[in-house]
Chains A and B, each alone.
Chain A
Amino acid sequence: MEDIVKKRIKQVLKGDQSAFEEIVSLYQNRLYQVCYRMLGNRHEAEDIAQEAFIRAYINLHTFDQKRKFSTWLYRIATNLCIDRIRKKKPDTFLDAPVPGTDGLDHYSSLAHDAPLPEEEVEKMEQQERVQYEISRLPDKYRSAIVLRYIEELPLQEISEILELPLGTVKTRIHRGREALRKQMKKL
């Protein structure tokens, strides 16, 4: 797959914009998923994933073609997500219900700032609960945990995506796991 991607990248660099569409369709689900899990909101996830692809297009000439493209793309997306989380103000999404969602967004957005009462958490559907628990993780650990357990990427690749030494990634994942354990003791 990387071969096809590299071919398309060359075409885009030569100025053939339409070759980019195949790149988007190959990675869109993975990128959207990371953004969704990081941000807990479909609307924002689409926004950021889209922004990530556009930035990738604009900066494609800076991509080192000896490297893995997905790593580079994930890096752009996770950086954008982290920026967004830091800038996030609650009023930007609480009053804007997103169509086609099942309350996930509402819960997970709220949750980031204030934990829900236990009985509320117990009433959650499993998928809702997964997102809720991810959203309660400190930002630092969240990206590493999402890349490890949602995207199922090897530690080495996560270290390249986050541009952190392997040891730091391991520490973050360990702490993230401990944080999850404490959050979900009664599971």
Chain B
Amino acid sequence: MNIVVCMKSVPETTAEKRLLSDGTLDRDSVPVVINPWDEYAIEESLRIREKGDGSGEIVLLCMGPEGSTETIRKGLAMGADRAVLISDPALHGSDMWATAAVLAAALKNMQYDLIMFGSQSTDAGGGVVYNIIAEMLGLPAVTWINEIEITDGKVRGKRGSDVGYDVVEAPLPAIASVTQTANEPRYPSLPGIMKAKKKEVANMSLADLGINGSQVGLQGAKTAVTGSERPQSTRQKQMVKVEDPETTAKVIADFLESRKLI
């Protein structure tokens, strides 16, 4: 069974974010990591192979600046076999539809039974890319699932519902997007890190994919950022220290009443 895992390189959550004069994020100033949701997708892909007959390839697919190679190496160190990185200056400013179009074009030339995704990305992600791709490739998709399983040529998982959960499935080849699962993404081992250095990271440009730069990036985007600002914190930050709990309870209740919350 061959699995492609789509992974995005995102700014580290804890990093201080600086803005450029045009209001966009200064991406060069922040350390990047694998989108945390995608780490779960990588972990699940490795588990699927380990639970099965151990055969088949696990390939990482990433669209992003060349600096993404470092993050990709971490995914390779976890155990993926090789990676494809799509980098092109013309991709700057791509929106969700353009991102999906590029990934779909790359996937058309790849071998897969299952394409895995995280259910959303932590930077500006909308959790829609994989469904656009599914439609473009004519594939079914089980999304927002955990406890993922492959049985009888089908991918299956649990998806939260209003009243509990649904068990959902789709016949392979298919797309699956995962949530946080009980299986923590493994830390790369030292031998894993050494091996990853020698694994292939194939660079592809838009020309390699037969895509015209005007269809993607800022030029082809159907949405455009018109501004950005830091939200102003208006928190009151009033502090009370508990001396007598009964009195504190009254203080909290008064506060709730003053804000019409009870």
Query: Do A and B actually bind?
Result: no
Chain B interface residues toward A at CB < 8 A: none
Chain A interface residues toward B at CB < 8 A: none
